[in-house]
Chain A
Amino acid sequence: MARTAIEFRNVSKQYANTSQYAVAGVNMRISEGSFITILGTSGSGKTTLLKMVNRIYEATSGEILYFGEHIKNLKLEEYRRKIGYVIQQVGLFPHMTVEENIGAIPQILRWDTDTIANRVNALLELVCLSPRDFKKRYPRQLSGGQQQRVGLARAMAADPDIMLMDEPFGAIDAITRQNLQEELIRIQRKLNKTILFVTHDVSEAFKLGDKVVIMHEGTIQQFDTPYGIISKPANEYVARLIATQDIVQRLKVLKAQSVMLPVDAQVSDRAFRVGTEESLHNILTYFLEHDQNHVLVEDGGRGVVGKITWEQLKVSTRQGKILSA
């Protein structure tokens, strides 16, 4: 079992001079190494929830625990250095080079110069920027996408356990955003960081998150895997929100086993075999590319357990749409 990295216990936040709670009674456990996306419309409290974790905002009531410790008992600056923080506006220091920006915290931690230089190089490579070309540049000499890469590298400088990201790719064009998303997924797999990622983009939330938190008016509507949310939306609000997803996106999170028809034991068919976890999107692609009308679903040791036909994929897609519309 993974440890709990962050736990919210009945956390609420009410800003001064407001009558409503921005976040109300949130309970949630986030296990170490998971990639959590926080999804909701504007004003739903996503940013507020995120910023209470690194105490940019203080919770009005309730508690937040960091690996079991109350964050209020931890020394603020030391605690924050264990938490990477990336925001949409990036906030690079304009008067410092890329190298100095990334090296700021390591320098405060009194790492020696060589260690810092190596760390900077490694991080730049991790975010796909060539150290030789970029180290000595100033932020204004970078494109928006490159700035956000540096922002990401800077946030990881002191090897934090947890990363908080508030719409980091919100101001970036669609293609660059896709690259960044894929890189982030790769980095997360590689380094096993716990990530809390705020977005209002449904497909981004579903693409990145192992689990998605859906927020509305300061409360959590559903906290589940993308598959869990799409196949069983907890309420009307969630159903409406995911209905904005296009079919292709939804097929990406639906798995073969959710729609397959059981088959009688012996199948000697030479049709293409897929795993139970295969996404319906890939199966659809296979149908379209190979002029086939069915595939068999195999479950590791148990052999063939089901079958998916072209007709049936169409029907379940349509049903899926009705389900969440």
Chain B
Amino acid sequence: MITYLVKYYDQMLILLLEHLYLVCLSMLISLLLAVPVGLLIARSKWLSTAILSFFGVVYSIPSLALFSFLLPAFGLGKMTAIAVLVIYNQYILVRNTVTGFQSIDASIIEAGYGMGLSARYMFLKIQLPLALPIILGGIRIATVSTIGIATIAAVIHAGGLGVLLFDGLRMNYLPKILWGTILSSLLAYLANHILLSFETKAIERARGECRGDTA
């Protein structure tokens, strides 16, 4: 195992970086889509239920199946992988964005508008900080699951840590399988840990528990 690491560490590093690239890019695109969509539909109970159940159905499609659905459209490689990851993320991210904004106590919103705050101020200074913990929770779960699903993207030649796994499986070579597993788990663990610390900060802030001076 160690010998494998010593011999192929540069190759493994490239795969790790490739994996990170896939995850980061798809998370970025997912967020750019999901947050505005979530915001738009959060106002309407009816619309948010409809759209969320649609994404829920999509979310339940097995990843291999979804990869093969999109192959004809985007071909082999990263494009398809990213498209699939983005589609999966919509469910969690849109749902948490909607929940985040809908969970804010209506009396806070009413008092804010009633005292003459502008919609812009309300959004940036009141609603967003209060919805942030739940949105960040969604980002964390989506990131971790993206790191996992992205390994399967190796099947369609998108690269990443899945290459180690699938090569190992095909060649029945244990060190490769193990390293693929270890690295992707480690990545997921770290991502979870880092994002959780942001989330905890956001929760403290939203509840009014910050220590020190944030005024």
- A-to-B contact residues, CB < 8 Å: 54, 56, 76-81, 83-85, 87, 89-97, 99-100, 104-105, 108, 136, 138-141, 151, 154-155, 164
- Chain B residues, CB < 8 A from A91: 105, 107-112
- Pick the contact of B208: A77, A141, A154 (CB < 8 A): A141
Asked whether A95 lies within 8 Å of B129 as measured between CB atoms, the reply is yes
In the bound complex, how far is the Cα of B215 from the Cα of A97, in angstroms? 8
- Pick the contact of A93: B110, B118, B126 (CB < 8 A): B126
- Chain B residues, CB < 8 A from A90: 107, 111
Q: Which 7 pairs of residues, A with B, have the shortest CB-CB distance?
A: A138-B208, A91-B111, A80-B116, A89-B107, A81-B116, A85-B114, A91-B107
In the bound complex, how far is the Cα of B207 from the Cα of A76, in angstroms? 30
Asked whether A95 lies within 8 Å of B107 as measured between CB atoms, the reply is no
- Chain B residues, CB < 8 A from A96: 208
Contact with A along B129-148 (1 / 0, CB 8 A): 11000000000000000000
- Chain B residues, CB < 8 A from A83: 116
In the bound complex, how far is the Cα of B110 from the Cα of A56, in angstroms? 8
Q: List 23 A-B contacts (CB under 8 A).
A: A56-B110, A80-B113, A80-B115, A80-B116, A84-B115, A85-B111, A89-B105, A89-B107, A91-B107, A91-B108, A91-B109, A91-B112, A92-B111, A95-B130, A95-B208, A97-B215, A100-B215, A104-B117, A105-B116, A105-B117, A140-B207, A140-B208, A140-B209
List B52-84 residues whose CB lies under 8 Å from chain A.
Answer: none
Nearest neighbor of B204 in chain A, beta-carbon distance? A95
B189 at the A/B interface (Cβ < 8 Å)?
no
B4 at the A/B interface (Cβ < 8 Å)?
no
B205 at the A/B interface (Cβ < 8 Å)?
yes
Interface range on chain B (Cβ under 8 Å from partner): 20 to 34
- Chain A residues, CB < 8 A from B110: 56, 87, 91
In the bound complex, how far is the Cα of B113 from the Cα of A141, in angstroms? 24
Given A95-B130, A100-B215, check contact A77 B117 (CB 8 Å). Answer: yes
Return A3 CB to nearest CB of chain B, in Å.
Answer: 22
Return A254 CB to nearest CB of chain B, in Å.
Answer: 37
Return A217 CB to nearest CB of chain B, in Å.
Answer: 25
- Chain A residues, CB < 8 A from B114: 54, 56, 80, 85, 87, 164
Q: How many interface contacts (CB-CB < 8 Å) are there between A and B?
A: 78
Asked whether A139 lies within 8 Å of B116 as measured between CB atoms, the reply is no
- Chain B residues, CB < 8 A from A93: 108, 112, 126
In the bound complex, how far is the Cα of B215 from the Cα of A100, in angstroms? 8
In the bound complex, how far is the Cα of B207 from the Cα of A138, in angstroms? 8
- Chain A residues, CB < 8 A from B206: 94-95
In the bound complex, how far is the Cα of B205 from the Cα of A140, in angstroms? 12
- Chain A residues, CB < 8 A from B108: 91-94
B198 at the A/B interface (Cβ < 8 Å)?
no
Asked whether A108 lies within 8 Å of B215 as measured between CB atoms, the reply is no
B9 at the A/B interface (Cβ < 8 Å)?
no
In the bound complex, how far is the Cα of B114 from the Cα of A84, in angstroms? 8
- Chain A residues, CB < 8 A from B112: 91, 93
In the bound complex, how far is the Cα of B114 from the Cα of A213, in angstroms? 23
Asked whether A154 lies within 8 Å of B215 as measured between CB atoms, the reply is no
Asked whether B116 lies within 8 Å of A77 as measured between CB atoms, the reply is yes
Asked whether A138 lies within 8 Å of B209 as measured between CB atoms, the reply is yes
Asked whether A94 lies within 8 Å of B115 as measured between CB atoms, the reply is no
In the bound complex, how far is the Cα of B112 from the Cα of A85, in angstroms? 9
Given A94-B130, A95-B129, A95-B130, check contact A155 B115 (CB 8 Å). Answer: yes
In the bound complex, how far is the Cα of B110 from the Cα of A151, in angstroms? 13
Return A74 CB to nearest CB of chain B, in Å.
Answer: 11
Return B215 CB to nearest CB of chain A, in Å.
Answer: 6
- Chain B residues, CB < 8 A from A164: 114
Return A124 CB to nearest CB of chain B, in Å.
Answer: 16
In the bound complex, how far is the Cα of B112 from the Cα of A108, in angstroms? 13
Asked whether A105 lies within 8 Å of B130 as measured between CB atoms, the reply is no
In the bound complex, how far is the Cα of B121 from the Cα of A99, in angstroms? 17
List B158-208 residues whose CB lies under 8 Å from chain A.
Answer: 205-208
In the bound complex, how far is the Cα of B129 from the Cα of A97, in angstroms? 14
- Chain A residues, CB < 8 A from B111: 85, 87, 90-92, 151
